[in-house]
Amino acid sequence: MSNESLANLLKEERRFAPPAELAAAANVTAAAYAQASEDRLAFWAEQARRLDWATEPTETLDWSNPPFAKWFADGTLNVAHNCVDRHVEAGNGDRVAIHFEGEPGDSRAITYAQLKDEVSRAANALLELGVTKGDRVAVYLPMIPEAVVAMLACARIGATHSVVFGGFSADAVASRIQDADAKLVITADGGYRRGKATALKPAIDEALTKCPQVEHVLVVRRTGQDTAFTEGRDVWWHDIVERQSAEHTAEAHDAEHPLFILYTSGTTGKPKGILHTTGGYLTQAAWTHHAVFDLKPETDVYWCTADIGWVTGHSYIVYGPLANGATQVIYEGTPDTPHQGRFWEIVQKYGVTILYTAPTAIRTFMKWGDDIPAKFDLSSLRVLGSVGEPINPEAWVWYREHIGAGKAPIVDTWWQTETGAMMISPLPGVTTTKPGSAQRALPGIAATVVDDEAREVPDGAGGYLVLTEPWPSMLRTIWGDDQRYIDTYWSRFEGRYFAGDGAKKDEDGDIWLLGRVDDVMLVSGHNISTTEVESALVGHPAVAESAVVGATDATTGQAIVAFVILRGTATDSPELVEELRAHVGRTLGPIAKPKQVKVVGELPKTRSGKIMRRLLRDIAEGREVGDTTTLADSNVMNLIQSQLPAQG
């Protein structure tokens, strides 16, 4: 942001030092920054040694053909061995790997020894179905342990998985199966969501009418609902997996062997198949999980509430935690089934110590009320994580106070599907945190903020977030489209990775993420970030959530239009709307005062919880609402329109 007056926009002055006890015993101390800045590659070579290699790598990074990186290229390893077998071999086979909590209340504990047997059986079943190293396997499952087993079984035999979120439509699944050219699909009869069994298999049946190359469909029985079967193609998981041997020798794969493809949710254009490989990915997923959550595998109970269909589920449910031998909770369902305290009931039941969730969930909990978490014993929690969007300072403070008992450090972790693992985040035993800021690139990571001309901005100014050095878990390309990889990420700023996010450096050089650059507004020649106006609104006691857009305006270029959801205690009135406008003006300066504030009951979100501002812009500009196929709830736009008075 070039404008001086906006450099001071977020005047967030609250600071929280790490708890002394946590700092004293932290896995990673401030020395890691110094060590990594002295020799970044030596730092990563050391972190790679956290893994079990069949062949130790001698070369750390090959950047001879940028932007195509190779990490640890002459090393070989097996990811499933690292995530499962080695813990059993080390004598930890009886440790619980997964506490599974089904939405209807069923639960299962799976030890590392049991997980090893199950992954080996599944690997043998994949081989029997004709899947071999290098093949692609699509996974379309609910949040059940078999999703983890399926991914690890693929990794074990060197098949590349492509997990498609279980909420995606048949068309979305079909295009992803086609693009990856998958020959096997692993799905389930259904899963439990919002108190009922939701079918999954029909979407696969429909998708496969367009995917003739798929030879088999492996179907997990979860709900027991009626399920159509295609003779010769479809196979029940329990029929084939259970009769396999629990012995399977994990072969080592090259460090650069393709581990998975994951399609980004992208709001426009053909989905991008982000390709991640083996050794560098696992190194960074494992190290960041160890460092940023301060994981103590013997005593911690970790819970990441993401779905396995998103990268957060890949890196911080499957690969990072299991590589570290963690005990974790996996929950199948929604946070308000059967009641709005379900998450807190789960934290209490399992004694969760580390919780990783998203700002959209935190704002929903705020809206439901402080009294709900207050009914449960959350005293086990010691580290709280946030990911997916900028977290508004008020939501951050609420999370710390009401979930973290005013003492658990919050790690606001910035990263992307493309980065594969965390990139910018506080360290819980080191960083004095600032509500709303992801703060500083992790040791071994190089990030900065540049202006339009690629010049690094000074402290106190804003611009575009870029990554200036390759990192181990970086995407290697877009599946089947190297040119698009170069164009999308490496062409905007010569030699630097363009993340697509706006960001600001504060006076201490700490980074504040400001949302996707497409979401920055231009009002009377000033760049104003939607995130900052939204945070100001959420900072008002009457507001639970907000989404801000820039609508074309004859006088100012763009005018700020805010959509707000009120907290349970507030009611809509012209006076409140005026007060909210004035509140933003006072917080950020008169230039950021919204021209209009519209009170609504819902906001349009993608299935991963990101607000689709494009659709709100359509409303604000009085246009017909555009493509809503990636919305989590397709009725939301009708609901919002019915709540608004006719356009003036």
Task: Point out which residues bind ligand WT7 (CB under 6 A).
Answer: 264-265, 310-312, 387-390, 412-417, 438, 499-501, 513, 516, 608
Both tokens of 431, joined, read: 């960083």
CB of 513 or CB of 576, closer to ligand WT7: 513
Question: Rounded to 5 degrees, what are φ and ψ at 267?
Answer: -80, -20
CB of 331 or CB of 356, closer to ligand WT7: 356
599 is in an annotated binding site: no
CB of 148 or CB of 465, closer to ligand WT7: 465
Q: What is the 3-state secondary structure (H, E, C) of 235-283?
A: EEHHHHCCCCCCCCCCCCEECCCEEEEEECCCCCCCCCEEEEECHHHHH
The rounded distance, in Å, linking the Cα atoms of 566 and 576 is 10
Write down the least CB distance from residue 389 to ligand WT7, Å.
5
CB of 61 or CB of 438, closer to ligand WT7: 438
Write down the least CB distance from residue 386 to ligand WT7, Å.
6
The rounded distance, in Å, linking the Cα atoms of 297 and 299 is 6
Question: Which amino acid is it at 240?
Answer: I
CB of 88 or CB of 503, closer to ligand WT7: 503
Tell me how long the chain is. Answer: 648
User: CB atoms < 10 A from the CB of 250, how many?
Assistant: 24
471 is in an annotated binding site: no
CA torsion 447→452→454→459, rounded to 10°? -50
The bridge status of strand 184-188 relative to strand 216-220 is parallel
Give the CB-side neighbour count of residue 387, counting CA atoms within 13 A: 28
Nearest CA to 447 out of 393, 384, 513 is that of: 513
389 is in an annotated binding site: yes
Give the containing element (helix H, strand E) for 592: none
CB of 468 or CB of 596, closer to ligand WT7: 468
CB of 251 or CB of 518, closer to ligand WT7: 518
Contacts 24+ apart (CB under 8 A), 314-318: 314/151, 314/163, 314/260, 314/262, 314/276, 315/285, 315/288, 315/289, 315/420, 315/421, 315/473, 316/285, 316/289, 316/356, 317/148, 318/83, 318/148, 318/151, 318/152
**Residue that the structure tokens 């900028």 belong to:** 390
412 is in an annotated binding site: yes
Write down the least CB distance from residue 419 to ligand WT7, Å.
7
CB of 180 or CB of 499, closer to ligand WT7: 499
CB of 135 or CB of 510, closer to ligand WT7: 510
User: CB atoms < 10 A from the CB of 63, how many?
Assistant: 14
> For residue 67, is the peptide bond before it cis, meaning its omega torsion is within 30 degrees of 0?
yes
The rounded distance, in Å, linking the Cα atoms of 342 and 327 is 20
Bind-site residues for CoA: 193-196, 312, 524
Bind-site residues: 193-196, 312, 388-390, 412-417, 501, 516, 524, 538, 540, 543
Bind-site residues for ATP: 388-390, 412-417, 501, 516
Bind-site residues for Mg(2+): 538, 540, 543
